[in-house]
Amino acid sequence: MTSQQINNNGYQRGHLVASYDRVYSRAANEQTFYMSNISPQIGKFNTGIWNDLEYKINENGSGWGVQRKLCRYPLCG
């Protein structure tokens, strides 16, 4: 599925690993935009509840002294 197909159907490119979690190098950050790191998500879900969840995980995790590069994303199949 291409980015255009995703966007034309009301979906957005949801990142499995967020771009802001890979800022320690330019190469690592650019890899977050590969299609293999993208999961089509309904636009309102991606910018709504999913975004809120990522924010809360990020805020809570930072208080534990946990390094941001640790995996915090569950993958369900």
Region class of 55: left (phi > 0), else alpha (psi between -120 and 50), else beta: alpha
Tell me the mean pLDDT in the region 37-59.
84
Q: Give the span between the Cα atoms of 37 and 34, in whole angstroms.
A: 6
Q: Give the span between the Cα atoms of 62 and 56, in whole angstroms.
A: 10
- Cα 57 → chain centroid: 12
Catalytic residues: 15
Q: 72 pLDDT band (50/70/90 cuts)?
A: low
Q: 27 pLDDT band (50/70/90 cuts)?
A: very high
Considering the entire predicted model, what is its pTM?
Answer: 0.59
Q: Classify the C-alpha dihedral 26-28-33-35 as positive or negative.
A: positive
70 pLDDT above the threshold of 90: no
